[in-house]
């Protein structure tokens, strides 16, 4: 096989149609079918990159030695012009014999076709109240773009909620209050559930396109080149070097917390000791996060064992589950159908996409939107903190489900990690469940109180994790958007003084971390300066807020989506009262 031959876009699309896992890296065409079952990061990390130029993603997540191994899977090279990303089959990309060779031309044709079929909104001649109705011969679900455009024209002076977001549901609510006969309300009330959801999705996409650099190939290529230059600078200036002295300081802190816990436990101050155990869990898990990204030693085996000891043995949480979920989360951040960190229906919904019941590519499960979600989501602003207080129990469940699932057995050369985790997890539950709760704490009242207090203390960690993404965009701006822009658009940093870094454990620099996940967290504050320069140069907004303001943004987003659901339920009620159907 000639590994240097030029492979045309048509050939690549035909390869993908035949089931080949084709990924572009630095102009090389890689066929990764033979690597799929060997990839320690799991299948989905590869499947989400099919048809795409994954140069930035691969360099961000892999060490140079690993990248060299990819050369063995090269089958050719792409033409010299920049590659136009395709939509991976896992995300709905369709490939076949009639695949259009000129992808850009195909995109233009599709846009032209869509614009030519957009329906018009006309004033019904039989309507006495002046409400607008859809043309009867048009399908309601195709009206969404016109609805959004009309709404944006009439609501240009709306206050922004979160970042660059005009609230669709709030606009409808305001129309109901001050102008009950308005055209927008008339159209909204006559929308079916899918049409209403699609209108709000399109509104979020419009917000993203308006607020960030153009997603055309040329602009995003320029951003990618700036990102690659910054990556090279990081390597040259030593940002990937771990400062082990910082872990020495942290070990002193862990020792003090755990020793204080044992002292109070021995003194039979059980509830006070529970607080210190929760603080110990919260602090030490930052190291498991580092190890999961190979940010400590850089050696896969060493960092995996460190991560398993901290997460599984000390905290009862599977590092394998975390890596499986977290790898996908980093690659396709805030994609409702694919990012497991957002999939919390019916308790929470941060995107109108969930209103249509989505199939999760990660869990291989359909999150059904039903009457339970209709009831719970409008209150999610108020249930957010209570649920975060008990979120650790859900992580226990997910950890065991992962270790007992086929996913944990399909890690190629990392097959042994499952056995290590099972042993460490068994030790944790023996020590915590049997020795501590059953043998040491004398009564059921104290046992239940101890568990609730110790686990509630860790809620700060869960709030930190959700804070970085639940208040940011969930819109998909298409396959041409660069890795760097998507990470910055969907991730928020938390601003705090340097002396408070120990409390946040580096998780406050999530935007910086998402751009460069292998950089040790003790170097992230210094790296933040360079990321700000990068954002200023590329005109990408760097989202950074104080901890309190960040919480307000997340609560605002939860309230926003909750109001969307309330409006949706009103639509259902209206259509039911008028005898119309198509709600579900």
3-state secondary structure of 530: helix
In angstroms, the CA 78 to CA 97 distance is: 20
CB 76: neighbour CB atoms within 10 A?
A: 20
Pairing of strands 132-134, 121-123: antiparallel
Residue 99 CB partners (closer than 8 Å, separation 6+): 10, 13, 14, 17
Q: Which tokens in the block code for residue 4?
A: 């240097």
Pairing of strands 358-360, 132-134: unpaired
Residue 80: predicted pLDDT: 79
Comparing CA positions, the residue from 465, 460, 468 lying closest to residue 550 is: 468
Q: In a structure prediction context, what are the per-residue pLDDT tens digits for the chain, which is 584 residues long?
A: 678 899 999 999 999 999 999 999 999 999 999 888 888 778 899 999 999 999 999 999 998 888 888 888 999 999 877 889 999 999 988 887 544 444 444 444 434 333 333 333 233 333 333 332 333 334 433 444 444 444 344 334 433 333 333 344 444 444 444 333 333 334 455 566 777 778 888 888 998 899 999 999 999 999 999 999 999 999 999 999 999 999 999 999 999 999 999 999 999 999 999 999 999 999 999 999 999 999 999 888 999 999 999 999 999 999 999 988 998 999 999 999 999 999 999 999 999 999 888 999 999 999 999 999 999 999 999 999 999 999 999 999 999 999 988 777 766 667 788 899 999 999 999 999 999 999 999 999 999 999 999 999 999 999 988 999 999 999 999 999 999 999 999 999 999 999 999 999 999 999 999 999 999 999 999 999 999 999 999 999 999 999 999 999 999 999 999 998 988 888 777 766 666 554 44
Residue 112: predicted pLDDT: 38
For 273-287, b/e burial (b = at least 16 CB within 10 A) is bbbbbbbbbbbbbbb
In angstroms, the CA 69 to CA 305 distance is: 23
Using the 8-state DSSP alphabet, how is residue 24 labeled? E
Residue with tokens 């059980």: 270
Q: Is 216 left (phi over 0), alpha (psi -120 to 50) or beta?
A: beta
Q: Which tokens in the block code for residue 581?
A: 């159907």
In angstroms, the CA 39 to CA 564 distance is: 41
Residue 4: predicted pLDDT: 83
- Beta pairing partners, 123: 132
Residue 369 CB partners (closer than 8 Å, separation 6+): 345, 346, 354, 355, 356, 357
Residue 409: predicted pLDDT: 73
In angstroms, the CA 129 to CA 181 distance is: 7
In angstroms, the CA 1 to CA 263 distance is: 68
Give the phi and the psi of residue 78 in degrees, each rounded to 5.
-85, 165
Residue 330 CB partners (closer than 8 Å, separation 6+): 61, 514, 517
Comparing CA positions, the residue from 235, 224, 230, 228 lying closest to residue 519 is: 235
In angstroms, the CA 12 to CA 4 distance is: 15
The length of the chain is: 584
In angstroms, the CA 178 to CA 580 distance is: 26
In angstroms, the CA 584 to CA 284 distance is: 46
Per the CB < 8 A criterion, the answer to whether 525 and 497 are in contact is no
- Beta pairing partners, 122: 133
Using the 8-state DSSP alphabet, how is residue 496 labeled? -
Question: DSSP of 107-168, one letter per residue?
Answer: HHHHHHHHHHTPPPEEE-TT-SS--EEE-TTS-GGGGHHHHHHHHHHHTTTPPPBTTTB--H
Q: Rounding to the nearest 10 degrees, give the CA dihedral for residues 51, 57, 59, 63.
A: -110
pTM of the model: 0.82
3-state secondary structure of 507: helix
Question: DSSP of 178-218, one letter per residue?
Answer: H-TT-HHHHHHHT--HHHHHHHHHHHHHHHHHHHS---SHH
Comparing CA positions, the residue from 291, 326, 328 lying closest to residue 43 is: 328
| DSSP H or E run through 219 | helix 217-236
Q: Which tokens in the block code for residue 523?
A: 């170097």
In angstroms, the CA 480 to CA 547 distance is: 33
**Rg of the chain (C-alpha set):** 26
Q: Which tokens in the block code for residue 241?
A: 């070097």
In angstroms, the CA 41 to CA 33 distance is: 14
| DSSP H or E run through 23 | strand 22-25
Pairing of strands 544-546, 121-123: unpaired
In angstroms, the CA 322 to CA 347 distance is: 21
On the CB side of 492, how many CA atoms lie within 13 Å of its CA? 27
């Amino acid at each position: 096989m000639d590994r240097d031959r030029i492979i045309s876009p048509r050939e690549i699309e035909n390869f993908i149609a035949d089931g080949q896992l084709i990924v572009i890296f630095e102009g090389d065409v890689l066929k990764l079918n033979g690597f799929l079952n060997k990839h320690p990061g799991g299948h989905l990390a590869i499947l989400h990159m099919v048809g795409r130029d994954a140069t930035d993603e691969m360099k961000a997540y892999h060490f140079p030695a690993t990248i060299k191994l990819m050369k063995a899977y090269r089958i050719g090279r792409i033409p010299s012009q920049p590659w136009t990303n395709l939509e991976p089959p896992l995300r709905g990309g369709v490939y076949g014999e009639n695949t259009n060779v000129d992808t850009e031309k195909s995109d233009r044709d599709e846009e032209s076709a869509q614009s030519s079929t957009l329906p018009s909104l006309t004033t019904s001649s039989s309507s006495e109240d002046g409400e607008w109705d859809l043309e009867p011969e048009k399908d309601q679900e195709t009206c969404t773009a016109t609805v959004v455009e009309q709404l944006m024209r009439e609501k240009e002076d709306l206050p922004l909620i979160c970042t660059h977001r005009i609230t669709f549901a709030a606009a409808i609510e305001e129309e109901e209050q001050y102008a009950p006969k308005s055209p927008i309300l008339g159209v909204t009330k006559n929308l079916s559930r899918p049409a209403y959801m699609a209108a709000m999705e399109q509104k979020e996409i419009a917000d993203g396109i308006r607020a960030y650099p153009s997603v055309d190939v040329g602009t995003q290529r320029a951003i990618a080149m700036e990102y690659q230059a910054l990556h090279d600078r990081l390597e040259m200036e030593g940002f990937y070097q771990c400062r082990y002295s910082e872990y020495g300081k942290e070990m002193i802190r862990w020792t003090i917390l755990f020793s204080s816990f044992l002292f109070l436990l021995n003194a039979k101050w059980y509830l006070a000791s529970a607080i210190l155990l929760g603080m110990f869990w919260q602090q030490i898990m930052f190291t498991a996060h580092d190890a999961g990204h190979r940010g400590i030693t850089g050696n896969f085996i060493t960092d995996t064992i460190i991560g398993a000891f901290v997460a599984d043995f000390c905290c009862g949480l599977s590092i394998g589950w975390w890596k499986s979920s977290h790898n996908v989360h980093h690659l396709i951040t805030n994609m409702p159908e694919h990012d497991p960190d957002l999939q919390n229906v019916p308790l929470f919904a941060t995107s109108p996409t969930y209103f249509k019941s989505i199939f999760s590519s990660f869990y291989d499960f359909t999150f059904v939107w039903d009457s339970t979600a209709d009831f719970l989501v409008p209150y999610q602003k108020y249930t957010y903190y209570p649920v975060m207080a008990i979120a650790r129990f859900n992580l226990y469940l997910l950890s065991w489900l992962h270790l007992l699932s086929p996913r944990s057995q399909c890690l190629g050369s990392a097959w042994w990690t499952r056995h290590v985790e099972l042993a460490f997890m068994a030790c944790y539950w023996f020590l915590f469940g049997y020795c501590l709760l059953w043998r040491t704490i004398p009564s059921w009242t104290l046992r239940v109180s101890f568990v609730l207090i110790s686990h509630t203390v860790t809620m700060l960690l869960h709030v930190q994790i959700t804070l970085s993404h639940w208040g940011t965009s969930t819109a998909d701006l298409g396959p041409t958007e660069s890795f760097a822009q998507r990470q910055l658009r969907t991730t928020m940093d938390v601003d705090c003084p340097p002396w408070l870094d120990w409390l946040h454990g580096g998780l406050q620099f999530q935007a910086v971390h998402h751009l460069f996940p292998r950089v040790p967290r003790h170097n992230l504050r210094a790296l933040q300066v360079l990321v700000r320069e990068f954002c200023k140069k590329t005109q990408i907004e760097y989202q950074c807020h104080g901890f309190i303001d960040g919480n307000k943004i997340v609560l605002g987003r939860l309230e926003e989506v909750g109001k969307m659901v309330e409006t949706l339920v009103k639509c259902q009620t209206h259509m039911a009262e008028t005898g119309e159907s198509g709600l579900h």
